[in-house]
Amino acid sequence: MKRPRKVLLLGAGGMGMAPLALYLRGAGVRVEAFDHKFREPLRTELENAGVKILHEPEAILTPDCVVRSSAIPADDPMVSEWVNADVPVYKRGEFLSSLFSRKRVIAVVGSHGKTSVAGRIAWALERLNFPCSYLVGAQFIDSILPSGKFQKSPWVLLEVDESDGTIDGFSPNITVALNCDWDHVDRYENKESFLHTLKSLFERTKNHIVCQDCAPLNSIAQNLSDKQTVFFSPASNPHDFTEANERAVRSVIGVLNLSVQDLDFEEFPGIQRRQATLFDDGNRWVVEDYAHHPTEIRSFLDLRRKMEPSRSMKVIFQPHRYSRTESLAAGFAEELAHADQLFLLPTYSAFEKFDQRGSVEALTGYLPPRLRGSTKIYDDFGDLRRSLHRKNIEKLKDQVLFVGAGDIEHWAHAFSAWEHSGEDKHKAFGLYLENRLSTGTILNGYHPLGSMTTMGVGGNARWYAEPANAEDLRSLVEACKLFELPRSMMGRGSNLIVPDDGFGGLVLRLRGKFWNTIELRSENSLVVGAGAKLNDICKFACGQGLQGFEFLEGIPGTLGGALRMNAGAMGWETFDLVDWVSFLLPNGKIQEIPGSELEVGYRYCKEAYEGIALRAKLKSEGRAKHQEIRKVIDSLAQARRKTQPREASSGCVFRNPNEHSAGWLIDQSGLKGEKVGGATVSDMHANFILNRGDATATEVIKLILKVRERVQKSHGLTLEPEVNVLGKSWEQYLS
């Protein structure tokens, strides 16, 4: 493969791909990266390194090649697009084997411990000033090193993954084989088939084989007389991975003719999610570990029991992949049986399709009677947290162990935040989000909201955030779910009344460059961020000669709010323009949904109420000269000025019934000029309630109820409010 100058990475937020992005940027390659689930602080680390983070899987510049993670199948539309364009597409492992074919590769292989050992070797070589590029599949604790690094050196260190078959493309100079347990059962029928793969790798190894001195690895290494084989002894306790990993590192250092005497392994800070202590107050320890194989679980639980033999051991386990869970269910249950209490989470699918045979329920039948009746499966963090609540803290000493390789880390860190906070959910919410949001995100407590609305009334939000990007938005939404805090979206604050007592949860506002983008996508369409102002969209379309956007002029809102309310004026509605909308859905996924498939009605869009609109593609009605479009805008603006007040208001208060307009009904009921405190029914348009400068939210709401009651008595029609009350339902006021 010719050295690429431009590379597109798909699935770049995973810890297999992110180190590659860092390496390539260090080597001077232009890297564009897309993932539906970038996380902080990794996203910022990539951006700071010069990686271009894409909002959509569409490259800015045509790449020389595309690299996809194993989680993205070959038939994914993101991949097919490039295949059809004759741009080479590689799986990550294929790309690495080709990219490093002329490098002196140190390949770390095995069923367990690859990341821990690769991280230790990278750290050791840095300490010994031995120049070597590396890719490590996790972040270092305290970020003492990046997970991927390019150096001008013939040497490169990486983990070679056996799970997707790309191991067969590598011919390392040094192979470091840690162990050979049967895993990745979807690819290997049994342990022997995996050993055959390792034997082939040993045969292709150019110089040294460094492997654990155990019978299976001995059997495939002993006949390779042309290789220099170095065996490292297993740990005194066969389940002590930490000791075995250190011995492996010492052996590699020796093969490179470096002095291990200059290293103090006690100074190694560790790798995230590997036996990481998240909380310890003397009574309770909270620890997380990446263990997702029976052997790894045995090692971790053995270690914890020896470290704290008198503490009750509570284990929360999340299986990883349906195929592994189905095949190794008995082994998982055998090792988990060492827990004093066991709590289970649903199987993390990774990229596998749902398979009932590999669901977490498959484990429960193998559990001993002691645990079988008491073990529950949790799909709600709050339920789990309450089950782990300490009632007699002065007497109870326990260790709470979060085990698994899926998304269990979020629950582990949320639980530790809860413990650190003294069970104060607001404090825990803030602690959990530390280091999970980019520096561009604003997160404040007790933030005033009244001045941020067009009505100009109301109290504070307990929490207020302006996420810098979609990843931070997702983290904020997830935190609300974890800590059972209500949340609400806020655009420009039109069509909204904030109660005087404020809002007890999180108010989210999409502001800033990421959300305000307006781009010409094709000759007759725009792609617009949900935070873009409607009048800015109108102006941009006018400048491009696009018709159909004129009615947006004068609507005081953002696209996100307009999509949620299907806002309209002068006979047009927002969804008359929509081609597709990208949503953050309640399940945490981002999905692009065609406008024709959305459930839309008068001042309503179901998907925008249940999820959060991120951006949309808006189509025009055709093209015209700028001057002609400007005339239409000016005429609509003139009509609006003649019929609608300019004072502070929330826009039209009531929906229009089928029989008559709400404004006509209110006018005919003699309510123009009606007041409650500083709130007044407009003399110009009776469906507007104005804040003359000193109104309160309570007064505005009382006037709304008064108008509704009067129209009901005079015309027998019930007006339904169109304006929203933040955090509350009108049923609370109308009943």
DSSP for 390-402, please give it. -S-TTT--EEEEE
Range with the poorest average pLDDT among 12-16, 155-159, 555-559, 639-643: 639-643
- Please report the pLDDT score of residue 351 as a whole number: 80
Q: What is the pLDDT of residues 325-352, one digit of tens each?
A: 998 999 999 999 999 999 999 999 988 8
Distance separating alpha carbons of residues 219 and 232, to the nearest angstrom:
15
With CA atoms as reference, report the closest residue to 394 among 509, 469, 284. Answer: 284
Residue 393 has pLDDT above 60, yes or no: no
The two structure tokens encoding residue 370: 């002691």
- Please report the pLDDT score of residue 495 as a whole number: 86
Topology given in CATH for the domain delimited by 442-508: 3.30.43
pLDDT confidence band for 80 (50 / 70 / 90): very high
Topology given in CATH for the domain delimited by 647-734: 3.90.78
pLDDT confidence band for 206 (50 / 70 / 90): very high
- Please report the pLDDT score of residue 239 as a whole number: 57
Superfamily of domain 101-272: Mur-like, catalytic domain (3.40.1190.10)
Q: How far apart are the first and last CA of the chain?
A: 71
pLDDT confidence band for 241 (50 / 70 / 90): low
pLDDT confidence band for 659 (50 / 70 / 90): confident
CA distances from 92 to 24, 155, 701 (A): 13, 19, 59
Residue 392 has pLDDT above 70, yes or no: no
Residue 689 has pLDDT above 90, yes or no: yes
Q: Are strands 503-508 and 487-489 parallel, antiparallel or unpaired?
A: parallel
Answer whether 0.85 is exceeded by the pTM. no
- The beta-carbon contacts of 31-34 under 8 Å, at least 24 apart in sequence, are 31/7, 32/6, 32/7, 32/8, 32/59, 32/60, 32/61, 32/63, 33/8, 33/9, 34/8, 34/9, 34/10, 34/78
Mean pLDDT of 143-165: 90
Q: What is the pLDDT of residues 264-303, one digit of tens each?
A: 888 888 787 777 899 999 899 999 998 888 988 998 998 8
- Please report the pLDDT score of residue 700 as a whole number: 96
Element at 91 (helix H, strand E): strand 89-91
User: Do residues 294 and 335 lie in contact, with contact meaning Cβ atoms separated by under 8 Å?
Assistant: yes
The two structure tokens encoding residue 239: 């389940």
Mean pLDDT of 186-200: 82
Residue 221 has pLDDT above 70, yes or no: yes
Average per-residue pLDDT for the chain: 90
- Please report the pLDDT score of residue 570 as a whole number: 66
pLDDT confidence band for 16 (50 / 70 / 90): confident
- Please report the pLDDT score of residue 551 as a whole number: 84
Residue 255 has pLDDT above 90, yes or no: yes
Residues of the chain with CATH 3.40.50.720: 1-99
How long a stretch of residues is the chain? 735
Structural Rg of the chain based on CA atoms: 30
- Please report the pLDDT score of residue 192 as a whole number: 83
Query: What's the CATH number for 1-99?
Result: 3.40.50.720
Residues of the chain with CATH 3.30.465.10: 513-630
Range with the poorest average pLDDT among 173-182, 400-409, 637-646: 637-646
pLDDT confidence band for 238 (50 / 70 / 90): low
The two structure tokens encoding residue 553: 């002029």
The two structure tokens encoding residue 730: 């009108």
Count Cβ atoms below 10 Å from residue 688 Cβ, excluding itself: 21
Residue 685 has pLDDT above 80, yes or no: yes
Angle between helices 534-543 and 626-643 (to 10 degrees): 150
Q: Are strands 525-529 and 612-619 parallel, antiparallel or unpaired?
A: antiparallel
The two structure tokens encoding residue 624: 């015209």
- State percent of the chain over pLDDT 70: 98
- Please report the pLDDT score of residue 680 as a whole number: 96
The two structure tokens encoding residue 290: 């990446």
Distance separating alpha carbons of residues 590 and 583, to the nearest angstrom:
6
Distance separating alpha carbons of residues 80 and 86, to the nearest angstrom:
10
Query: What's the CATH number for 513-630?
Result: 3.30.465.10
Residue burial 126-136, b: 16+ Cβ < 10 Å; e: rest: beeebebbbbb
pLDDT confidence band for 395 (50 / 70 / 90): low
Residues of the chain with CATH 3.90.190.20: 276-420
Superfamily of domain 276-420: Mur ligase, C-terminal domain (3.90.190.20)
Distance separating alpha carbons of residues 617 and 18, to the nearest angstrom:
29
